[in-house]
Amino acid sequence: MEELRSIMEKFAASGWDLISIPAHAWLKGENDKDTLIASIKQADRECGSCGCELDPLYKRSLELLNEIC
């Protein structure tokens, strides 16, 4: 769970509304899993191979979300 929290904190701090808004909501306990997963999948499609530090975190966060939910 700590790994997922760390990833969500990075997403929330990214400044990219697509992932920062749902990640921030998740961190506040507003657990809308479907919206969060959809946003992460879209971010992965749009930017998942640009070479930034977030690229590997998209897939990892989806794995972790599937494990806990």
pLDDT tens by residue, 35-66: 999 999 999 999 988 889 999 999 999 999 99
Contact assessment for residue 11 and residue 61, using Cβ atoms and an 8 Å cutoff: yes
Average pLDDT for 20-49 = 93
Give the largest CA-CA distance in the chain.
Answer: 30
Task: Indicate if the pLDDT at residue 28 is higher than 80.
Answer: yes
| Percentage of the chain modeled with pLDDT above 70 | 99
Q: Does 69 score more than 70 pLDDT? A: no
Compute the distance between CA of residue 41 and CA of residue 47 in angstroms, rounded to an integer: 10
Give the global pTM.
0.92
> Taking a C-beta distance cutoff of 8 angstroms, is the pair 64, 3 a contact?
yes
Q: Is the pLDDT of residue 18 over 90?
A: yes
